[in-house]
Amino acid sequence: MSASIHESPQYSERSVRRYERIFGEDFLSTGGPETTHDICAGLNLQPGTRVLDVGSGIGGSAFYMSREFGCVVTGVDVLAPLVEIANNRAASKGIAGVRFLQGDILETDMPECGFDLVYSRDAMLHIEDKERLFNRLFSLLAPGGRIFISDYATGTGLLSTEFTDYIRDTGYFLRPIETYVSEIAAAGFVDVKGEDKTNLFVDILKREIERAESLPPNAEEGLSPEDCDYLVSRWTKKIGWCNSEQMKWGYFQARKPA
């Protein structure tokens, strides 16, 4: 896990408030409830499905899977403030069947073969050692268990200095979609699929820019015009990197043999 995630302002209290106003209540990742609904609809979730949500943030996906499908969700996030928010919200909303733990997925003590699904939204990008990561996830899944991951990736061509500086400054560890797929397969997973969802990502970013520009400043939440300008600038750069095929967004699915 990148040490810089603990130092970055990306997940400060102020940033959480900013992101929620764009992504939706309880969400810190692209598309918020919209993409969560669409993704979960294709995961064959059932009452009692044991889900490990890696990089669970402030709980949006976990709450949704518990409420809509009756899943039993364990969220793990390396950032203690986000875990505290998620647990407090679970209690205040009366959502049963969810719990959130603070820790590094590579180190946190968890039951071997204890989960039916490992789910992660734009969080694996913080982990450099992907070989160790996917071996760890393989060991945590029950036989026949599955993974779903959405994550940032790179194109296979030349990357600009601006984009590589962004990757460095955010503490991300990105690779091409094809490399990602190979690394998952190397851990023993079968039926490995990597889908390029960059066009969807760009469409979502455009809608989120429109939302940011339409939001009035909210002094009570400590938001300002500068906050909206920050989000619009950041999203606009991502759209440019996607259009130049430097930045990609992928969906990755695989299964542990039964």
Torsion of CA 87, 88, 93, 99, to 10 degrees: 10
Which of 27-31, 93-97, 179-183 is predicted least confidently? 27-31
pLDDT at 220 over 70: no
**Dihedral of alpha carbons 178, 189, 65, 6, sign:** negative
Which of 22-26, 118-122, 163-167, 251-255 is predicted least confidently? 22-26
Query: Could you give the percent of the chain with pLDDT greater than 70?
Result: 92
Rounded-to-integer distance, Cα 194 and Cα 253, Å: 7
Digit-coded pLDDT (tens) for 12-65: 666 787 778 888 899 988 899 999 999 999 999 999 999 999 999 999 999 999
**pLDDT value at residue 119:** 98
DSSP H stretches of helix in 42-129: 60-69, 80-93
One-letter amino acid at 66 equals S
**Given the structure tokens 């390396």, which residue do they identify?**
78
pLDDT at 3 over 50: no
Digit-coded pLDDT (tens) for 222-250: 457 777 788 889 999 999 999 999 999 99
Domain 4-255 -> CATH class: alpha beta
Rounded-to-integer distance, Cα 61 and Cα 189, Å: 24
Mean pLDDT of the chain: 91
Count Cβ atoms below 10 Å from residue 18 Cβ, excluding itself. Answer: 21
Is the Cβ–Cβ distance between 86 and 58 less than 8 Å?
A: yes
Domain boundaries, the chain: 4-255
